[in-house]
Chains A and B, each alone.
Chain A
Amino acid sequence: MNEISAALRAEHIRVWFPVRNALGHVVNHVKAVDDVSLSLLPGKTYGLVGESGCGKSTLGRALCHLVPTTEGSVSLMGKEIAPLSDRDMLPYRRTIQMVFQDPYTSLDPRQRVGRMLMEVQKIHHIGSSSDERMARAMDILSQVGLLKEHFYRYPHEFSGGQRQRIGLARALILDPRVMICDEPVSALDVSIQSQVINLLRDLQAARHLSYLFISHDMSVIKYISDRVGVMYLGHLVEEANVDTLFANPIHPYTKTLMSAVPSIDPRQSTERIVLKGELPSPIDPPGGCVFHTRCPFAGKECQVHVPALQEVTPGHFAACPRMADRH
């Protein structure tokens, strides 16, 4: 992949949280994200999929500098941001913005929407007068499909879908290049979900935005993404362009995820792969391949050998030598 063209490039990211004993000594680490690399291209969407606890949200937050990165480098529009302190990060914050799952808890309940949109600009020194900021705020509201009168309302006066539009407006008013969308439509009803997905696509086309779209919903991921990464227990286990991945999943975990998605066609039932056991703890992940304890195809070598992502066909990476060799 062309290195200069990436809007965001993350390499070998580790996010480990210390586990302390009663005396405050670090005795272990929760390895939430363990050696993950990915690139977001301008105007494209990278879908990150996985189940609860796989580290997808933590990775998203680490890229936004909302949780400290233990190891690895992140470059945003060609500039290194991962080793920066929070203070030095400030000028870059407006370039990378985040949209959260629950638009209600991510908005200040006591602040009118308009005021919030103006405050964000002030912090980032956008606009020279409050009239100018207000005009920009009004403009962004209409771009996300809200009305001018919404400027004076409080978050509780909006429905879930509208709140998510406010969350988008808050992020977009800074004119970012990269947006980290963490389950932005998961809390919404189906009919509202499709409105927000369409809006996300329109905004991307109009502003040439890069999205990291984090979701547990395979159908939404398939619909919105250009490239998809599958995470399991802090590791990226497979990555490919969306059509390739869905047409030809290689990693047993990807296959399992896909087989679990119920079909909307009542006559079509999928042959389901059922995993044994439960998700191991990220404090003490299994040695070898992290998936071997639950993998239906695991052999002896999987318990010892840590599989690296290898390119199976051009652009299609999977961290499972057993499966990759068959292709």
Chain B
Amino acid sequence: MTDTILSVSNLSTSFRTDRGWLKAIDGVSFTVHRGEILGLVGESGCGKSVTSQSIMRLYEEKRMVRYEGTVMLSGTDLLSLPFSRMQHIRGRDISMIFQDALSSLNPVLTVGDQIMEPLRIHQKMRGDAARAEALNMLRLVGIPAPETRLRQYPHELSGGMRQRVMIAIALACHPQLLIADEPTTALDVTIQAQIMDLIVFLNRQLAMGVILITHDLAVVAQTCQRVAVMYLGQIVEEGGVPDIFDRPLHPYTRGLLASIPRMDGDRRERLHVIDGTVPLLHQMPSGCRFAPRCPYATDHCRKEMPQLRSVSGGQSVRCWREEE
């Protein structure tokens, strides 16, 4: 497809530990199209952040990390680029925003300096031009009184404003792809709603691709077109948002959706529970990784790992039950 921005195939990332190499993510594949928001969901430790940081190659690489697979960004494989070349990609072609805006912003630089930095580095913009562009960005992300804000430091801003500033910095060079890693988790619901509205607006306005990493399925339901559900380093289900929310096929996806207390739910009913806990990476179950917690697991599931296979209507699932 011509409008594919990012195509990740068979991406695996391993870390060197005392116990040898540990594969944090295993054979992750997905694509992101122009103007699309892809949700990457899962619980703590499922590998959603490792996936995004591997795309950006944010890990210290010397002998400690091993990547396999390819990450194609408009025809270039990011994983085979020399590490130094990544400096030119980050902030220009792909940008990232994080959960905690205060610790991601530089406390001793003004908001203006921080927005102008990528403009200076990537676009060689200087002086008034850079300043004017920084003001534009602040306006774009909906910050009132941008002239004043430009001279302020991160600690002078509220949580929601800081997240807007981080978005302004990330988008200063109009990247093709924005990775948003739990951008609203630390924010209050009313502010979360505003930031998500902003991300959706900018996604359309700038026709960029967005990967939204979150643990909140309701946020995905309201903002994403497609979603990939991760469990223990693998994508277990992927597809269009309405399809997956209407007809979740993987027992894990079903379990997740059923575990959430719903605003329209019956309070007398007990909440659905996924039994057990996520195993540790070095105690990886053989066969299907969800089998130890799956109510439908058979001997087959415990012995052999299912592959992610497409079923109907662009939905893919990694489950033996769907194949039979």
A contact set with B: CB distance below 8 Å = 51-52, 159-162, 189-195, 197-198, 201, 216-220, 222-224, 242, 246, 256-257, 259-267, 269, 272, 274-275, 278-279
A222-B261 contact given A262-B221, A265-B245, CB 8 Å threshold: yes
| B44 interface residue (CB < 8 Å to A) | yes
B242 at the interface (CB under 8 A from A): yes
Q: Note all chain A residues with C-beta closer than 8 A to B257.
A: 264
A52 CA to B189 CA, complexed, in Å = 10
- Residue of chain B at shortest CB distance from A243: B267
Choice from B188, B217, B261, B274 contacting A197 with Cβ under 8 Å: B261
Of A201, A264, A266, which is within 8 A of B262 by CB? A264
Q: B240-278 vs A: 1/0 string, CB under 8 Å?
A: 011001000000000111011111010100111110011
**Residue numbers in B under 8 Å from A192 (CB-CB):** 43, 277
- State A278–B217 Cα separation when bound (angstroms): 27
State A161–B44 Cα separation when bound (angstroms): 12
Q: State A246–B158 Cα separation when bound (angstroms).
A: 29
Asked if B4 is an interface residue, CB under 8 A from chain A, the answer is: no
Expressed in whole angstroms, the Cα–Cα distance for A257 and B192 within the complex equals: 11
Residues of B within 8 A of A193 (CB): 259
CB contact under 8 A between A191 and B189, given known A219-B261, A222-B261 = no
Instruction: Knowing A51-B190, A216-B188, A257-B189 are in contact, say whether A265-B267 is a contact too (CB < 8 A).
Output: no
A266-B273 in contact (CB<8A): no
A261→B189 contact, CB < 8 A: yes
Distance from A213 Cβ to chain B, minimum over Cβ atoms (Å): 12
Beta-carbon contact of B222 and A263 below 8 Å: yes
- What's the minimum C-beta distance from B191 to chain A, rounded to whole angstroms? 8
Residues of B with C-beta under 8 A to A195: 273
A314 nearest CB across to chain B (Å): 21
B273 in contact with A194 (CB, 8 Å): yes
Contact B193 A219 (CB under 8 A): no
A260–B75 Cα distance when bound, in Å, is: 40
Q: Known: A260-B193, A262-B222. Contact between A223 and B265, CB under 8 A?
A: yes
B160: chain A residues within 8 A (beta carbon): 278
Residue total for B at the interface (Cβ-Cβ under 8 A):
41
Task: Sort A-B residue pairs by CB-CB distance and give the 5 closest, nearest first.
Answer: A223-B261, A189-B43, A194-B271, A51-B188, A191-B274
Distance in angstroms between the alpha carbons of A198 and B273 in the assembled complex: 9
B305 at the interface (CB under 8 A from A): no
Task: State whether A223 and B271 are in contact (beta carbons under 8 Å apart), knowing that A190-B259, A262-B219 are contacts in the complex.
Answer: yes
Closest A residue to B46 by CB, please name it. Answer: A189
A226 shortest CB reach to chain B, Å = 9
Determine if A261 and B218 form an interchain contact, defined as CB atoms under 8 angstroms apart.
yes
Contact residues in A for B7 (Cβ distance below 8 Å): none
A201 to B158, CA, bound (A): 36
**In chain B between 277 and 299, which residues have their CB closer than 8 angstroms to a CB of chain A?**
277-278
Q: Add 5 more A-B contacts to A51-B190, A193-B259, A262-B193 (CB < 8 A).
A: A189-B44, A191-B274, A194-B260, A219-B263, A262-B221
CB distance from A158 to the nearest CB of B (A): 10
CB <8 Å contact, A262 and B218: yes
CB of B99, distance to nearest CB on chain A (Å): 13
Q: Bound complex: CA of A263 vs CA of B218, how far in Å?
A: 5
- How many angstroms from the CA of A266 to the CA of B219 in the assembled complex? 9
CB distance from B293 to the nearest CB of A (A): 9
A216 touches B158 (CB 8 A): no
Let me know if B215 is at the binding interface, CB within 8 A: yes
Q: Which of B198-222 contact A (CB under 8 A)?
A: 215-219, 221-222
